[in-house]
Amino acid sequence: MAWKGHYRPNNPQKYDGDTTGIIYRSSLELRFMQHLDSSPGVVQWQSEEFPIPYFDPSTNKFRRYFVDFKVVVKQGDKTLTQLIEIKPAKQCEPPKVPAKRTRRFITEMLTYGTNIAKWKAAEEYCLDRGWKFKIITEKDLGMR
């Protein structure tokens, strides 16, 4: 079942951006938003608020990647900034090669290649700023 909707935070002071425009595109994103909103360790968070440029190998063009979340958390007396992408676990692995190369397989390979390019750009973006990049799946959120 595909989930999609607007999220209204219980702690709007923690959200860095327009709280009326927070959109989730999956039940995984909704669950993570609820966690960010209620977690006392989260100082601030955003959802798809800024782009990271990357080169898309499937189209041979430069594009913009809007990472799912930017999160600032307390770590002792310091803070840590993280960029977080929410993905189903199966989309974090290359597709299995079928006996016959189908249109679906080719599409999955192109999507996987694009995701890898996005994630590499996000990692470099974070490295330049002393931040962390992390991919979170349903396994990390305790969902199946």
Q: Annotated catalytic residue: which of 48, 49, 56, 87?
A: 87
How far apart CA 140 and CA 142 sit, in angstroms, is: 6
Is 124 considered catalytic here? no
Residue 108 is among the residues annotated as catalytic for this protein: no
Active site residue 77: no
Query: How many alpha carbons lie under 13 Å from residue 75 in its C-beta half-sphere?
Result: 8
Q: Write down the catalytic residue from 68, 70, 85, 118.
A: 68
Active-site hit among 14, 29, 70, 85: 29
- Residues labelled catalytic: 29, 68, 87
